[in-house]
Chains A and B, each alone.
Chain A
Amino acid sequence: GESVGLHLPTLSVQEGDNSIINCAYSNSASDYFIWYKQESGKGPQFIIDIRSNMDKRQGQRVTVLLNKTVKHLSLQIAATQPGDSAVYFCAENRGYGQNFVFGPGTRLSVLP
């Protein structure tokens, strides 16, 4: 029979608009977070990271916000471009070693 795949949330935005992708994490002990971008046929690519002693970090066209009170992470992409179309994953490190836990991902589609 046909296998059931993981249902990815999808966000569709117009080219030039800002995108906000959200991620909820489960462990209050997590102290390091990464956003990855995965394009079709490629491995995940690092976008930006943030440690728990910060609540905001900015990169080139991207901003990550961390709300530890509600265990929520968001990725904001300014002036979204067609090349931003991909699946975006958040990953949390639970304070020990290199063991990251990845979220299910959000598919971003940029409309012309």
Chain B
Amino acid sequence: ETGVTQTPRHLVMGMTNKKSLKCEQHLGHNAMYWYKQSAKKPLELMFVYNFKEQTENNSVPSRFSPECPNSSHLFLHLHTLQPEDSALYLCASSPSGQGAVEQYFGPGTRLTVT
């Protein structure tokens, strides 16, 4: 176990649904990340949070809405998704304020949009 947990592990949703993905880290880190891993592209960074503040938004469509209430929790709110949004969504965390360092990944949420 990496100390990063994600729920749910699998999610099937229709295009009109609203759902949320949850990530929790138990490592005392202050930076958290959302990544998308699809069959068609390499791992893509979506959002970065440092000390609860969003510091990166990698041109992600507004149908994905992140929320970071504290340094241990990160959410990804989903609404009116498209079938091409089906992918593995990975959360990661790392220490903050030390430049580039390794990131610890959760197991991911496998999302299927029907």
What is A's interface to B at a CB cutoff of 8 Å? Answer: 3-6, 31-32, 34, 36, 41-46, 49, 89, 91, 93, 97-100, 102-105
Contacts and interface: CB of A to CB of B under 8 A. Distances in A.
Chain A interface, DSSP helix/strand/loop, else mixed: loop
Contact of B103 (A3, A6, A98): A98
Contact of A43 (B40, B42, B58, B90): B90
Chain B interface, DSSP helix/strand/loop, else mixed: loop
Interface stretch (B13-21, B64-72, B73-81, B105-113): B105-113
Interface residues of B, number: 31
B62 interface: no
Given A45-B2, A93-B100, A97-B100, A104 B56 contact: no
Contacts of B102: 34, 46, 49
Interface string B70-96: 000000000000000000001010101
Nearest to B48: A98
Contacts of B44: 102
Contact of B105 (A5, A32, A45, A93): A45
Contacts of A104: 42
B105 A44 contact: yes
Contact of B43 (A5, A45, A97, A102): A102
A97 B56 contact: yes
A104 B70 CA distance: 32
